[in-house]
């Protein structure tokens, strides 16, 4: 995708997340996580390094299907964060790209799982803290996507803890099966927040026009 961005004119524009287009082009909630700043190799290298460092561990713990769904839902959560936390101008008119929302979702999910085990590496918390604070010192970074992805990942981690149970008895099987309705419920919450924010902004715009 990164090479495509460098070679295909308009690809970044067509796949990036833009708040004002969220209602009419909803695929941008996910596609924005697969494109990065075409002028910054460091942007994609950093995200891919984090995914390489933590992804295999989480994929092994969750399984491929659940890992993929968690990643994609965290990406959507990052876009929802942009909708909820960005000001209408200029935030909703700025192109947002990158897998940072999804990456932060995986990191916070990992932290939640480690908290359950009582062993959260200090270095991991420091790294997350630095990256959450970095956008306040470096311009051009969408901190809203980081926060949205992080909150989504933490919620997914909580869901995994609530629905995890050892053994093969009926209660354990029933509890593990609740993961899927819970995942659908979290997705519905994200969808509801996005729709609410879009309707809220559109309503405010209509009021300004009629007023």
Residues marked as catalytic: 100, 146
Structure tokens at 38: 């075409």
Contact 34, 15 (CB under 8 A): yes
C-alpha to C-alpha distance for 14 and 55, rounded to whole angstroms: 27
C-alpha to C-alpha distance for 37 and 98, rounded to whole angstroms: 7
Q: Mapping DSSP to helix (H, G, I), strand (E, B) and coil, where does residue 102 land?
A: helix
Structure tokens at 70: 């968690």
Cα separation values, 171 from 174, 181, 193, Å = 5, 16, 33
C-alpha 205 chain-centroid distance: 27
């Amino acid at each position: 995708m990164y090479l495509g961005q460098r070679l295909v004119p308009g690809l970044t524009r067509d796949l990036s997340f833009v708040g004002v287009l969220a209602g009419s082009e909803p695929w941008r909630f996910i596609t924005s996580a697969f494109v990065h700043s075409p002028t910054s190799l460091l942007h994609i290298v950093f995200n891919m390094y984090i995914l390489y460092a933590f992804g295999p561990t989480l994929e092994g713990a969750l399984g491929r299907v659940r890992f993929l769904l968690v990643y994609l839902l965290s990406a959507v959560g990052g876009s929802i964060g942009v909708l909820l936390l960005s000001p209408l101008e200029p935030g909703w008119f700025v192109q947002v790209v990158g897998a940072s929302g999804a990456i932060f979702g995986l990191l916070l999910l990992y932290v939640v799982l480690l908290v359950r085990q009582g062993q959260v590496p200090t270095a991991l918390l420091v790294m997350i803290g630095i990256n959450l604070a970095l956008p306040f010192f470096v311009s051009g970074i969408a901190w809203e996507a980081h926060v949205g992805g992080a909150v989504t990942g933490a919620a997914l981690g909580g869901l995994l803890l609530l629905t995890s149970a050892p053994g093969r008895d009926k209660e354990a099987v029933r509890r593990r099966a609740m993961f899927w309705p819970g995942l659908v419920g979290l997705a519905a919450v994200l969808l509801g927040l996005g729709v609410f924010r879009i309707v809220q902004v559109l309503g405010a715009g209509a009021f300004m026009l009629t007023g």
